[in-house]
Structure 1
Amino acid sequence: MRQLLVFADRDDAEEAAETLGEWFPSLGVPRAVRETLAGEDDAEDAQWLVVLEGLDEAALAKVDELVERYEGWREAG
């Protein structure tokens, strides 16, 4: 199942993506992408996403800890 990791800050998203690539080499290095919220005109309100697929529940628990460090969250996509 696809997981979306959501961050407010680009640097946080990129650092988390790099860490995830180190922890789970089979993923490669996930990419941080910008998502503008519907109806938002201000680019400052954009969120940064890292998309993951193919991780089991144990790995996702570790991912959750990382995401919380950067004050982000995980959503099933």
Structure 2
Amino acid sequence: MNDAAPHPPHVRHVLVLPDREAAEEVVEALTERFGVAEEPQLVRDALAGEDDAEDAQWLVVVEDPDTAHDPTQLDDLAAEYEGWRESE
């Protein structure tokens, strides 16, 4: 019999932003406003079939193993930069 408390699920938030500048500003805001200790990962996501860098979205990946970040606040932050949040 295992009496250990179950671990909460590991959450990964993905903030989808329209351009690199917005994504970099969101990374900075995450550190300043949310106290994110581990720097979020910044990823360029080219839209299907598009080779032009102008047709790319930028993703800010925030690991949240302790589910410490309020999804609503992350939604609001992404919306400030014309983006949105997805969770995995």
Could you tell me the TM-score, scaled by structure 2's length?
0.73
Aligned mate of 1:22, from 21, 32, 35: 32
Provide the rounded CA distance (Å) in 1 between the counterparts of 2:23 and 2:44. 10
Q: Give 1 or 2 for the bigger CA radius of gyration.
A: 2
Could you tell me the TM-score, scaled by structure 1's length?
0.82
Match of 2:18 in 1: 8
Provide the rounded CA distance (Å) in 2 between the counterparts of 1:13 and 1:30. 10
For these two proteins, the number of residue pairs brought into alignment is 77
| Contiguous gaps of at least 5 residues in structure 2 | 1-10
Question: Structure 1 runs of 4+ off > 6 angstroms?
Answer: none
| Contiguous gaps of at least 5 residues in structure 1 | none
Larger helix proportion of the pair:
1
Match of 1:63 in 2: 74
